């Protein structure tokens, strides 16, 4: 039996005390949400070794770019392009609701307002058809990034198209998230690279000096495609058979992509350029590879070709743990702030579709107050049986009671997994993007959302919602009252874990 000397025990006690004080001060200074602050302090103090390892891997508050990236990127591409807009052509009869949201948008230098020439909302099969046609027609440049890129028939088909374009001299850059695409072998991308295309992984998990070189929790959840600087796509689709409705399991995945043309594509492409810089330390000039642009000008200069689009107003909103506002404060929750502000302005309806519904306190409160003001609040989520993340579905159900009690309607989609992420506010605001309404998307992931200030786009998205709602079943108060104890316990435990989901 080992005997401990008094001096050694005292040294251990002092060391643990110093560690606890240091850990507490470190977490407090990061100014997280109170629940997250307390959780991390408890983990670090009660299980110091495991807690410290977890903190180093997934707990640090902000993502940091490499020193080379910070030197090369004196100004973010999204910020550098903030003045390239055509607001002079904005409608003069703008409602106070939209005016307020525009002011909020313009306060974020990373999310300027631009016009599109055209906007089209696409279901999965038409979306993949449009993507394939766009890639096949590309003449100069293709930039695309997805959270999940599978090596199945859908992924293989796109790689073949991209390889053909790269071989024809088109500049192709493909970025995918290393965790989201962890099951896809590197050899899947080799034909594209052999043809001259460039492929990069965001947050690679390879070991470097005995440390993971990528953060496990800061994942790039964005999905976007830009063709020749003039055509752009974004939304909730990933690259895989299940998203195209062609999986062997036969599972149906309902999702959305939005196709845009015109000046608004600049906002999407600036997001890609930032992510490409993070992944590769290579700064891509927005106007390079495009002969109709002045390729001699830097990204940080106003382009020689003036903006001319006069269609729907579009705000491309990027969000991530490495962003800052103009005044330097943390900007990781810019999409959350936009969601809350938009819901708070609603006078008639708030219609939401999200596959993963784990709202934080501000979102819960604004949804409740909207319903109590008489706003038609409807939320469509997957049913737990078809949700690919069952634990998340249980956590989502734990929020039903407090929303239903004040008049919100909760509907569960029945035909399969609904993976779309969109929102309709009254008759003039619509949002489609990659962000789920959960803590991870709002505060940890890199996300992108397209926000449209346009009556026609909003009308089209509202019809999509009504079609989806017709395939849902409303959750009634009686259903919740009769819920068995074991399911209430499951929901309660899942809710405790919700900040980590």
Spans of all domains in the chain? 6-59, 69-96+115-312, 334-500
Confidence grade of residue 212 (pLDDT, cut at 50, 70, 90): very low
pLDDT at 61 over 90: no
Average pLDDT over residues 213-219: 64
What's the distance, CA 261 to chain centroid? 21
pLDDT at residue 295 in the model: 45
pLDDT at 36 over 80: no
pLDDT at 477 over 50: yes
Decide if 217 is catalytic.
no
Average pLDDT over residues 430-452: 92
Q: Which of 54, 243, 34 is nearest to 157 (CA)?
A: 243
Judge if 69-96+115-312 and 334-500 fold alike in CATH terms.
yes
pLDDT at 326 over 70: no
Domain covering 69-96+115-312 in this structure, CATH number: 3.30.870.10
**Contact status, residue 436 vs residue 421, Cβ threshold 8 Å:** yes
Cα–Cα distance measured from residue 84 to residue 285, given in angstroms and rounded to the nearest whole number: 15
H-helix segments, 30-176 = 34-46, 48-54, 67-72, 77-80, 96-106, 124-137, 153-167
Share of the chain above pLDDT 70, in %: 70
Architecture of domain 334-500: 2-Layer Sandwich (3.30)
Share of the chain above pLDDT 90, in %: 48
Q: In the chain, what is the straight-line distance between the N-terminal and C-terminal CA atoms, in Å?
A: 43
Cα–Cα distance measured from residue 44 to residue 20, given in angstroms and rounded to the nearest whole number: 7
Average pLDDT over residues 105-129: 85
Which residues touch 413 (CB under 8 Å, ≥6 apart)?
Answer: 254, 380, 381, 382, 383, 386, 468, 471, 472
Helices (H) and strands (E) counted in the chain, each on its own, are 19, 22
pLDDT at 41 over 80: no
Confidence grade of residue 310 (pLDDT, cut at 50, 70, 90): confident
pLDDT at residue 103 in the model: 75
Decide if 103 is catalytic.
no
Least confident of 245-249, 258-262, 415-419: 245-249
* Tokens coding 432: 């489609």
Confidence grade of residue 323 (pLDDT, cut at 50, 70, 90): low
pLDDT at 116 over 60: yes
Cα–Cα distance measured from residue 369 to residue 367, given in angstroms and rounded to the nearest whole number: 6
Name residue 330's beta-bridge partners.
324
Q: How far is CA 328 from CA 71, 325, 340, in A?
A: 18, 5, 21
pLDDT at residue 425 in the model: 97
pLDDT at residue 484 in the model: 79
Q: Specify the 3-state DSSP secondary structure of 78.
A: helix
pLDDT at residue 208 in the model: 43
Average pLDDT over residues 209-231: 76
In terms of pLDDT, which residue wins out, 15 or 448? 448
Mean pLDDT of the chain: 81
Q: Which of 37, 41, 38 is nearest to 51 (CA)?
A: 41
The residue annotated as part of the active site, out of 108, 140, 223, 378, is 223
Cα–Cα distance measured from residue 336 to residue 339, given in angstroms and rounded to the nearest whole number: 5
Tracing tokens 């198209």 back to the chain, one arrives at 161
The residue annotated as part of the active site, out of 152, 386, 426, 438, is 426
**Contact status, residue 180 vs residue 238, Cβ threshold 8 Å:** yes
The residue annotated as part of the active site, out of 108, 143, 171, 419, is 419
pLDDT at 405 over 60: yes
Confidence grade of residue 96 (pLDDT, cut at 50, 70, 90): confident
Q: Is the pTM of this model over 0.85?
A: no
pLDDT at 77 over 80: no
CB atoms within 10 A of CB 416: 18
pLDDT at residue 204 in the model: 83
The residue annotated as part of the active site, out of 221, 360, 386, 468, is 221
**Contact status, residue 422 vs residue 431, Cβ threshold 8 Å:** yes
**Contact status, residue 98 vs residue 342, Cβ threshold 8 Å:** no
The residue annotated as part of the active site, out of 421, 438, 454, 468, is 421
Decide if 421 is catalytic.
yes
Q: Which of 201, 196, 207, 186 is nearest to 275 (CA)?
A: 201
Decide if 171 is catalytic.
no
pLDDT at residue 60 in the model: 57
Cα–Cα distance measured from residue 420 to residue 184, given in angstroms and rounded to the nearest whole number: 23
Cα–Cα distance measured from residue 305 to residue 261, given in angstroms and rounded to the nearest whole number: 16
pLDDT at residue 134 in the model: 98
pLDDT at 27 over 70: no
Decide if 459 is catalytic.
no
Tracing tokens 């495991």 back to the chain, one arrives at 50
Decide if 221 is catalytic.
yes
What's the distance, CA 267 to chain centroid? 15
pLDDT at residue 140 in the model: 95
The residue annotated as part of the active site, out of 228, 255, 386, 454, is 228
């Amino acid at each position: 039996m080992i005997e401990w000397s008094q001096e050694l025990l005292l040294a251990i006690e002092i060391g643990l005390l110093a560690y606890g004080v240091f850990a507490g001060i470190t977490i407090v200074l990061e100014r997280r949400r109170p629940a997250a602050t307390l959780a991390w302090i408890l983990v670090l103090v009660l299980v110091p070794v495991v807690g410290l390892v977890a903190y180093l891997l997934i707990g640090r508050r902000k993502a940091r770019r490499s020193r080379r990236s910070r030197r090369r990127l004196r100004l973010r591409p999204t910020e550098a392009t903030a003045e390239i807009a055509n607001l002079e052509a904005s409608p003069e009869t703008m409602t106070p609701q939209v005016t307020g949201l525009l002011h909020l948008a313009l306060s974020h230098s990373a999310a300027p307002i631009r016009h599109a020439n055209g906007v089209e909302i696409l279901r999965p099969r038409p979306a993949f058809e449009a993507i394939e046609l766009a890639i096949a027609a590309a003449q100069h440049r293709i930039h695309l990034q997805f959270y999940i890129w599978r090596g199945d028939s859908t992924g293989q088909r796109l790689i073949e198209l991209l390889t053909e374009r790269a071989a024809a001299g088109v500049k192709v850059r493909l970025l995918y998230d290393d965790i989201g695409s962890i099951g896809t072998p590197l050899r899947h991308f080799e034909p594209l690279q052999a043809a001259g295309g460039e492929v990069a992984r965001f947050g690679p998990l390879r070991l470097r000096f005995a440390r993971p070189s990528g953060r496990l929790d800061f994942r790039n959840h964005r999905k976007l495609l830009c063709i020749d600087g003039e055509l752009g796509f974004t939304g909730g689709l990933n690259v895989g058979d299940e998203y195209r409705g062609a999986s062997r399991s036969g599972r149906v995945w309902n999702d959305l992509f939005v196709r845009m043309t015109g000046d608004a594509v600049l906002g999407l492409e600036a997001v890609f350029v930032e992510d490409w810089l993070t992944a590769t330390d290579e700064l891509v000039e927005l106007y390079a590879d495009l002969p109709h642009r002045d390729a001699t000008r830097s990204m940080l200069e106003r382009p020689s070709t003036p903006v001319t689009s006069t269609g729907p107003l579009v705000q491309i909103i990027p969000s991530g743990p490495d962003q800052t506002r103009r005044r330097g404060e943390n900007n990781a929750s810019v999409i959350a702030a936009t969601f809350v502000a938009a819901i708070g302005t609603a006078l008639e309806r708030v219609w939401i579709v999200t596959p993963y519904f784990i709202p934080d306190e501000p979102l819960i409160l604004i949804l409740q107050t909207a319903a109590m003001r008489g706003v038609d609040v409807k939320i469509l989520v997957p049913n737990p049986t078809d949700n690919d993340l069952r634990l998340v579905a249980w956590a989502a159900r734990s929020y039903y009671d407090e929303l239903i009690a004040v008049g919100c309607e909760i509907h569960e989609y029945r035909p399969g997994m609904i993976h779309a992420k969109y929102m309709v506010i009254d008759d003039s605001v619509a949002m489609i993007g990659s962000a789920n309404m959960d803590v991870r998307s709002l505060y940890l992931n890199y996300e992108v959302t397209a926000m449209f200030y346009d009556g026609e786009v909003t009308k089209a998205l509202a019809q999509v919602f009504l079609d989806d709602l017709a395939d849902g079943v409303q959750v009634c108060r009686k259903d919740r009252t009769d819920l068995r104890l074991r399911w209430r316990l499951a929901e309660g435990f899942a809710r405790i874990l919700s900040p980590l989901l």
